[in-house]
């Protein structure tokens, strides 16, 4: 009888430990999502800084093409 009680206690401990691991995994996935979002934000920020000088050039090119088309039409 003593062994059965000991086995039952051990099974209860393992069950509690497994449930605790499941709860921790949910917390880990939240942290992983936050880390992924953080990486995306950093990459987007770096891309914006890198393209900051290119944006005015693109608009100037578009403006020149529009004005060139208007001047050629007259």
Residue 21 φ/ψ region, left for φ over 0, alpha for ψ in the -120 to 50 degree band, beta for the rest: alpha
Q: Which band of pLDDT confidence, cut at 50, 70 and 90, is reported for residue 68?
A: confident
Kindly list the domain boundaries of the chain, sorted by start residue: 2-73
The per-residue pLDDT for range 22-67, each reduced to its tens digit, is 666 656 788 889 999 999 999 999 998 888 888 888 889 999 999 8
**Helix or strand or coil: residue 53?**
coil
Instruction: Kindly state the helix (H) or strand (E) to which residue 52 belongs, with its residue range.
Output: none
Q: Which residue has the higher pLDDT, 28 or 16?
A: 16
Q: Pinpoint the alpha helices (H) of 1-74.
A: 2-51, 54-73
Report the SS3 class of residue 5: helix
pLDDT of residue 16 exceeding 70, the answer is yes
Q: How far apart are CA 16 and CA 54, in angstroms?
A: 58
């Amino acid at each position: 009888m003593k062994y059965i009680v000991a086995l039952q206690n051990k099974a209860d401990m393992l069950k509690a430990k497994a449930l605790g691991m499941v709860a921790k995994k949910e917390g880990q996935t939240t942290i992983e999502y936050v880390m992924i979002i953080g990486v995306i934000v950093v990459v987007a920020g770096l891309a914006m800084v890198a393209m900051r000088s290119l944006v005015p050039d693109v608009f100037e090119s578009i403006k020149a093409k529009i004005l060139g088309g208007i001047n050629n039409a007259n």
